[in-house]
Chain A
Amino acid sequence: MAVALILLLVAIGSVLFHLYSPWWWTPIATNWAYIDHTINITFWITGFVFVAVIAFMAYCVFRFHHKEGRRADYNPENKRLEWWLSVGTGVGVAAMLAPGLVVWHQFVTVPADATEVEVMGQQWQWSFRLPGKDGQLGTSDVRNIASDNPMGLNPDDAHAQDDVVIESGDLHLQLGKPVKVLLRSVDVLHDFYVPEFRAKMDMVPGMVTYFWITPIRTGTFDVLCAELCGAAHYQMRAKVIVDEEREYHAWLEQQKTFAELSPAKAIVKATYRSGDK
């Protein structure tokens, strides 16, 4: 039966494609391997259901297709079978949902020792900000935005003066240190997306959103915008570089603080010192 065979081949072909296709997720660079595991569990359960349903259907088509003299059974319902199938489905669903919710709990629970870094999106570029030696990011407001204050930091906030501002450069993160990425936008929605990090979150004007990660391998990673943000959405790029501790601090020392970038009122002489313990 050609039709039954083709249906079966669709199922088998899908499984083979899954196993042998060269397109798979990027090697992970953060602690979120849990997410990958949850996806794998989901692949196993759904893959089994997919093959079972299609194979059963193909068998029915093969076995019960019309022939002269065949007559269908009359079989309105079978309560027991329907309940068993419902319960079985419920178990499968729970097996996917439970690990999913556990991992979500980890995802939204930021560890206390996470350091903060801010990413700001605007059409169509990224800016970054790190807390200065006071370890605290200063406040900001879009109304403060000016040519010498592109991130809209509050000039009257002492915490802001020593913040490290990276306007058109790459963001560096330190290997193995949990980091809470604070996300902010000044115009439209954006989404800070690094495929290798697995985590992503929209950036919404008027709000500060976040996710947290712990980088687990060094390297240079592409930053893309994952939320449509207008004409040049596809060109909104940057790089994140995960460094060993020494390289990270070497990089950090070269960065300028907000005070240094404000020529008019360089009152506070605040250079950033690494290893400020």
Chain B
Amino acid sequence: MVDIPYEGTRGIPPAEVPDVELYHPRSWWTRYVFSQDAKVIAIQYSLTASAIGLVALVLSWLMRLQLGFPGTFSFIDANQYLQFITMHGMIMVIYLLTALFLGGFGNYLIPLMVGARDMVFPYVNMLSYWVYLLAVLVLASTFFVPGGPTGAGWTLYPPQAILSGTPGQDWGIILMMSSLILFIIGFTMGGLNYVVTVLQARTRGMTLMRLPLTVWGIFTATVMALLAFPALFVASVMLLLDRLLGTSFFMPALVEMGTLSKYGGGSPLLFQHLFWFFGHPEVYIVALPAFGIVSDLISTHARKNIFGYRMMVWAIVAIGALSFIVWAHHMYVSGMFPQFGYFFATTTLIIAIPTAIKVYNWVLTLWRGDIHLRVPMLFALGFIITFVNGGLTGLFLGNVVVDVPLSDTMFVVAHFHMVMGVAPIMVVLGAIYHWYPKVTGRMLNDALGKFHFWVTFLGAYLIFFPMHYLGLLGVPRRYFELGDTTFIPSSAHSLNAFISVVALTVGFSQLVFLFNLAWSLFKGEASGGNPWRATTLEWQTPETPPGHGNWGKELPVVYRWAYDYSVPGAAEDFIPQNQPPRATQHVQGAAS
């Protein structure tokens, strides 16, 4: 009577999962530093990514100072400005978001959510983090080498990336490429782990169609990353060879600073195809984990099953697959074969359909829910608004001819910040508020959290929404100064100043969040094991924070899908995945 028949939970036999022989740390060093425990590795990944992310945040303040108040700050020159935008972009996209979602959330949540004791290859998992750390250090070192970091823009387009008219041509570009190569090596080790763990280490009863959407999002993103990053790897190696050995993969015959260079015969467009063959899936590598996580936040805090679970899973898979055939929409004005425009515009706009389905299902989950407006839910709502906004402007840029006037303007900057900057960060922050109690055993402060949400959400919206209109006006991106033009009115400069002030405010308000993280670690209210009364396995661990091996003596057994909230007739408004069907019928207060 209680166990509502639902096709997604039937028909697939439970996986047989043998207990895994665990590695046991014997010293402080192997427990906390060279740890093979996915939870420790997750925290290492998260802290490293956040630290380098803060550097990128400060870089964004510097460039906003320049854009908002040109000529005021003598310590920022045109070369440095280019170096700031390059490093800001590269750090945020790859070293922060990719590493945080996959290395951070992936490591922490996959084993717990699928009911495993750890990742299947713990040693490789550990290596993955240390190679990632090395990549970050190599990247950070470019701030201190002669010539400084590369200023080629995060897209690193040759020929200019390796020619002398661009800052960082000496060391910056070489170290950038080396760092990317290291990052990809590190990621591949981690990524193989996540994929194999999801496929092979699920506990008894955890069928694929019972997985929480968080796992589906991270899993699909990881598969995509394993397929997409090799393109960047190849591009990096080839560009490095062009720079160091004088090969000409991407370099046609050209003039460098007035004299004929030694290059000849290569193709700059080849690099762009390789870069975006990685670069577009990369957008979804960041977005899909966010889609998954936000689904779980909404469901848990609205006390309602996610609407259309199967459609949500297929939408994730469809988006993942389609995202490999849309890359050249970044190249409509690159000079590539013009007839490509029809194909790539069509595929790009088709991808809007599964994406829209996801949005509908999030808001339909709220319908007739029991919506607790706690901080993670607020961030989820903020995500929906910013993601819908950024997704819709993607329909402008994806529609080839509409892209022609808008490309390379601030419209593009506003679009991708809204859709793959602000929106995923909303999810990251919501997820931290959501899972912090599991990681630390303490709640984050609610009042500080709400303050943090409103300043961040409204502030970010005020930064990026008006910025679209600067782009519509024609203001180009990557400009140190706009100089004198006939078409940019002085009001546009005022808007730039306004955006800068808001950006600095939002930036500094993150200190409240950092304070909350640190303060709550010691003084936060004790959370207990399942403060949100959630169904998924990570909330059902015998200890909080979960101990080594996650589950004590016995692995949990899964009997139902991840979204049994407010099941009619059940005593509580949630039934954990590991609760057997009978228990829900008779036991009063069926808590874990």
Chain A interface residues toward B at CB < 8 A: 3, 6-7, 10-11, 14, 17-18, 21-26, 32, 34-35, 38-39, 42, 45-46, 49-50, 53-54, 56-57, 60-61, 64-66, 70-78, 81-82, 85-86, 89-90, 93, 96-97, 100-101, 103-104, 107-108, 122-124, 141-143, 145, 183, 186-189, 191, 193, 195-196, 198-207, 209, 220-222, 224-235, 237
Contacts and interface: CB of A to CB of B under 8 A. Distances in A.
B480 interface: yes
B586 to A, nearest CB: 20
A78 B308 contact: yes
A206 B256 contact: no
Contacts of A73: 304, 367-369, 566
Closest 10 CB pairs of A and B: A206-B252, A195-B474, A230-B165, A209-B335, A188-B160, A60-B366, A46-B392, A72-B304, A23-B469, A72-B566
Contacts of B366: 57, 60-61, 64
Contact of B163 (A42, A70, A188): A188
19 contacts: A21-B469, A46-B392, A53-B388, A60-B366, A60-B367, A74-B304, A74-B566, A86-B357, A89-B353, A101-B342, A101-B401, A104-B341, A189-B157, A193-B476, A195-B473, A200-B404, A206-B252, A231-B79, A231-B167
A133 to B, nearest CB: 29
Given A74-B566, A202-B334, A228-B160, A234 B495 contact: no
A96 B486 contact: no
Given A39-B402, A221-B486, 15 more contacts: A23-B495, A35-B401, A57-B363, A75-B305, A85-B360, A93-B395, A97-B399, A100-B401, A104-B342, A104-B400, A123-B165, A207-B335, A227-B157, A229-B165, A231-B82
A74 B369 CA distance: 9
A202 B4 CA distance: 58
B153 A38 contact: no
Contacts, number: 324
B159 A191 contact: no
Given A64-B366, A66-B373, A123 B253 contact: no
B334 A204 contact: yes
Contacts of B157: 189, 227-228
B478 A228 contact: yes
Given A104-B345, A222-B487, A38 B333 contact: no
A234 B482 CA distance: 7
Contacts of A24: 469, 472-473
B487 A196 contact: yes
Given A53-B388, A77-B308, A200 B159 contact: no
Nearest to B331: A202
A49 B472 CA distance: 20
Given A54-B385, A86-B357, A74 B4 contact: yes
A45 B396 CA distance: 11
Interface string B352-386: 11001101110110111111110000100100110
Nearest to A71: B566
A33 to B, nearest CB: 11
A121 B223 CA distance: 41
Contacts of A66: 303, 370-373
Nearest to B266: A206
Contacts of A21: 466, 469
Contact of B470 (A23, A202, A230, A231): A23
B393 A85 contact: no
A232 B81 CA distance: 11
A204 B333 contact: no
Contact of A17 (B165, B342, B361, B465): B465
Interface residues of B, number: 113
A101 to B, nearest CB: 6
Nearest to A198: B405
B408 interface: yes
Given A24-B472, A193-B476, A224-B485, A142 B311 contact: no
Contact of A100 (B334, B352, B402): B402
B227 interface: no
Given A100-B399, A206-B252, A234-B481, A72 B404 contact: no
B165 A234 contact: no
B335 A231 contact: no
B383 to A, nearest CB: 11
Contacts of A93: 349-350, 352-353, 395
In this complex, which of A24, A25, A72, A237 has the most chain B Cβ atoms within 10 angstroms of its Cβ? Answer: A72
B325 to A, nearest CB: 15
Contact of B388 (A54, A82, A86, A107): A54
B330 to A, nearest CB: 12
A53 B309 contact: no
Nearest to B254: A205
A72 B466 contact: no
Interface in B550-583: 563, 565-568, 573
B307 interface: yes
A85 B396 contact: no
A23 B496 CA distance: 12
Given A72-B302, A231-B82, A77 B473 contact: no
B153 A57 contact: no
Contacts of A100: 345, 399-402
B515 interface: no
A191 B406 CA distance: 13
Contact of B491 (A23, A60, A61, A85): A23
Given A85-B356, A222-B486, A228-B160, A206 B6 contact: no
